């Protein structure tokens, strides 16, 4: 926290108290540079991430939707429910950690793709086909070619 007096970012917490409902934390701080004491209030807020869809409409981030999408793509494939949830959790955590409160559905799609690609190529291709709205078999062929190419590149980087 920035010291209101000298602007230093280094301080120590002398005392922390929670509000009765536990939603606000009051902290007494002391600036390590000038010794000034000040109080901060931290509010616990639900992070609301907004997803911008292709047609520019927005909707709140919904982890269950990601889970449903992956589940559908991985039907009958050796991917566990836990692995599916892990992907969705990882994406949510990444967005929160990065402070990304607005994200496009395409970005989310790309994140799922990159995780699925390593997990199971068949589920990956199925997911891509829905995500990118494949129209015919040629779309599948080019996606598979691209995947093989990426694979070679990945291996190339490791060597």
Helix (H, G, I), strand (E, B) or coil at 110: helix
Judged by CB under 5 A, does residue 9 bind Zn ion?
no
Judged by CB under 5 A, does residue 29 bind Zn ion?
no
Pairing relation of β-strands 102-104 and 50-52? parallel
Among 13, 24, 34, 72, binds Zn ion (CB under 5 A): 34
Min dist. Cβ of residue 85 to Zn ion (A): 45
What's the half-sphere exposure (Cβ side, CA atoms, 13 Å) at 26? Answer: 7
Q: Which stretch binds Zn ion (CB under 5 A): 32-40, 73-81, 119-127, 147-155?
A: 32-40
Alpha helices in the chain (DSSP H): 63-73, 81-97, 105-119, 121-131, 137-158
Judged by CB under 5 A, does residue 37 bind Zn ion?
no
Give residues in contact with Zn ion (CB under 5 A).
3, 5-6, 8, 31, 33-34, 36
């Amino acid at each position: 926290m920035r010291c209101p007096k000298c602007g230093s970012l280094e301080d120590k917490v002398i005392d922390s108290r929670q509000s009765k409902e536990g939603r606000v934390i009051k902290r007494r701080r002391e600036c390590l540079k000038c010794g000034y004491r000040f109080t901060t209030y931290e509010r616990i807020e639900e992070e609301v991430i907004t997803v911008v869809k292709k047609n520019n409409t927005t909707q709140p981030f919904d982890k269950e939707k990601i889970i449903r999408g992956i589940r559908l793509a991985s039907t009958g494939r050796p991917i566990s429910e836990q692995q599916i949830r892990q992907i969705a959790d990882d994406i949510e955590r990444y967005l929160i950690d990065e402070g990304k409160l607005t994200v496009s559905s395409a970005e989310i799609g790309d994140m799922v793709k990159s995780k699925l690609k390593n997990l199971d190529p068949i589920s990956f291709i199925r997911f891509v086909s829905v995500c990118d709205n494949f129209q015919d078999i040629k779309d599948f062929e080019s996606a598979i070619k691209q995947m093989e190419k990426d694979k070679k590149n990945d291996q190339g980087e490791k060597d």
